[in-house]
Amino acid sequence: MFQGNRMKPVMLWWGRFDPAYSRNRILRDLLRGRGFEIRDFRPRSSLFGTVESIITRPGTADCIWVPCFRHRDFNAARRYADKQRIPLIFDPLISSWDKVVFERRKYQASQRRARQLLEWERSLFRRSDVVIADTQAHRDFFIEELNSPADATFVIPVGAEEGLFTAQPRQALSDPPEILFFGSFIHLQGPQVIVDAAKLVPQAQWIMLGRGPLRKACESRGAGILNLHFEDWIAYESLPGRIGQADIVLGVFGESGKAGRVIPNKVYQALACGRPVVTRASTAYPDMLETAHPGLHFVPPADAAALADTVKELVAEPTRFEQRQHDARRFFEAYFSREHIDASLKTVLDSPALQS
Q: Are residues 140 and 189 in the same domain?
A: no
Say yes or no: 226 and 183 in one domain: yes
* Among candidate residues 186, 172, 92, the one with its CA nearest the CA of residue 139: 92
The answer on 343 and 331 residing in a single domain is: no
Q: What domain range includes position 195?
A: 178-335
pLDDT of residue 167: 97
Binned at pLDDT 50, 70 and 90, residue 6 comes out as low
pLDDT confidence band for 7 (50 / 70 / 90):
confident
The burial of 69, by beta-carbon neighbours within 10 Å (0-12 exposed, 13-18 middle, 19 or more buried), is given as: buried
pLDDT in tens, 219-268: 999 999 999 999 999 999 999 999 999 999 999 999 999 999 999 999 99
Q: How big is the CA angle at 227 (ends 224 and 230), to the nearest 5 degrees?
A: 85
pLDDT, one tens digit per residue, over 167-206 is: 999 999 999 999 999 999 999 999 999 999 999 999 999 9
Q: Quick check: is 172 in a domain?
A: no
Whether residues 319 and 189 share a domain: the answer is yes
This prediction's pTM? 0.92
* Sign of the Cα pseudo-torsion (25, 30, 35, 41, in order): negative
Same domain, 96 and 206: no
User: Considering only CA atoms, which of 242, 288, 282, 243 is closest in space to residue 264?
Assistant: 282
Based on the fold, state whether residues 113 and 248 are members of the same structural domain: no
Same domain for 79 and 132, yes or no, is yes
- What is the pLDDT at residue 233? 95
| Residue 32 near residue 25 (C-beta atoms within 8 A) | no
Q: State whether residue 344 is helix, strand or coil.
A: helix
For the chain, what is the domain count?
A: 2
What CATH number did the domain enclosing 306 receive? 3.40.50.2000
What are residue 194's phi and psi, to 5 degrees?
-65, -40
Instruction: Decide if 118 is inside a domain.
Output: yes
CA angle 180, 134, 132 (to 5 degrees): 155
- Any alpha helices (H) in the chain, and if so which ranges? 22-33, 49-56, 74-84, 96-98, 112-126, 136-146, 191-200, 215-221, 239-245, 265-272, 304-315, 321-335, 338-349
Partners of residue 210 on adjacent β-strands: 183
Q: Give the CA diameter of the chain.
A: 68
> 109-167: per-residue pLDDT in tens?
999 999 999 999 999 999 999 999 999 999 999 999 999 999 999 999 999 999 999 99
For residue 245, tell me if it sits in a domain: yes
Note whether 151 and 204 are same-domain residues.
Answer: no
Same domain, 231 and 127: no
Q: What percent of the chain has pLDDT over 70?
A: 96
